Chains A and B, each alone.
Chain A
Amino acid sequence: MTLDAIKLQIEETSDVAYAALDAKNFAKGLGFSIADQYTIATAVSELAQNIVKYADFGHVTLTTIEKGSNVGIEVVAKDSGPGIEDLPNAMEDKFSTGGTMGVGLPGTRRLMDDFHIATVLGEGTQIVVKKWL
């Protein structure tokens, strides 16, 4: 079974775990290997965790994408939080303003094939990641 898109509201840590599971099932429906299902779920978990930690509230959207005969999953994590002040540093390992390990963003980039981040101070952050089958 494949879904075109699902949008998940992220507000508290239990939403993070549910989003990860939804992502795993979504990826499974697209035919991703078990290893990739967990990789995608972990990436979604990291992105959703960031929303809870820094923005309190946001959304994660999972979408099926196609390019030629390629199929993949796109994950959009969007919040209206404070934005990221020092983006180059936030993308480096072991940099964190949230009192945690600071591996979330660079780790997520390693887990996925494609990573794009846009952030505006005071307006919010949108991160788009993709993984192809």
Chain B
Amino acid sequence: MTISSQSHSITMHETQRCLVVPIQEELSQTAAVIIQQQILERVHARPLIGVVIDLAGVQIIDSALWTTFINTSRMIKVMGVPSVLTGLNPGAVASIIDLQLDCDEIETAMQLEDALTMLTRGCPNPSELAPAPEATPAEADPTTNTAIDASNDAQ
């Protein structure tokens, strides 16, 4: 297992106008701050409707690392873009709770797909989204099925 530290560049990609940031290895806080900077620059440069930070590869989360991610999420929010954390493993979650870290204001989901559903739900221009075979046609055409009612209710 490796640890990211300085001079780290993370591979981010976009889907359905959401920025997806997969974190695939243990992070030092320094690396987390560098990633924070990269995310903020992307959010500033591109019209995005949401950011997903996928922590599936991070097994050890201490208070400093968690605070960095919470602050990243806050900063993105201030820029007008919602974000969702995904992929937290049971060990990390137990530590977050034992350490009594702040997790009330953060949106989380287990899977990337769930996060994208959360973020694209209220999207004003769903037809402009990249192909999303499940959700997009249903939202674009209100007559198709009952799934839209459920998603509308959830708003």
Residues of chain A at the chain B interface (Cβ within 8 Å): 12-14, 16-18, 20-21, 24, 34-35, 37-39, 41-42, 45-46, 49, 93, 100-101, 103-104, 106-107, 110-111
Contact = CB atoms under 8 A, between A and B. Distances in A.
Interface string B51-68: 000000001111111010
B99 interface: yes
A90 B60 CA distance: 23
Nearest to B94: A35
Given A24-B59, A35-B94, A42 B28 contact: no
Interface stretch (B1-9, B77-85, B115-123, B138-146): B1-9
A17 B59 contact: no
B134 interface: no
Contacts of B100: 93, 103, 106-107, 110
A13 B60 contact: no
A101 B30 contact: no
Given A17-B28, A21-B3, A46-B99, A38 B60 contact: yes
Contacts of B109: none
A21 B90 CA distance: 17
Given A17-B27, A34-B91, A100 B99 contact: no
Interface of B: 1, 3, 5-6, 26-31, 59-65, 67, 90-92, 94-95, 98-102
A38 B99 contact: no
B79 to A, nearest CB: 23
Given A13-B31, A103-B63, A107-B100, 10 more contacts: A13-B5, A13-B29, A21-B26, A21-B60, A35-B91, A42-B61, A42-B98, A46-B99, A103-B101, A110-B100
6 contacts: A17-B3, A17-B28, A20-B60, A42-B61, A49-B29, A107-B63
A24 to B, nearest CB: 7
A14 B3 CA distance: 7
A29 B98 CA distance: 24
A102 to B, nearest CB: 9
Contacts of A110: 98-100
Nearest to B62: A45
Given A20-B26, A34-B91, A35-B94, A111 B99 contact: yes
Contacts of A38: 59-60, 91-92, 94-95
Contacts of B60: 17, 20-21, 24, 38, 41-42, 45
B34 to A, nearest CB: 11
A20 B99 contact: no
A18 B3 contact: yes
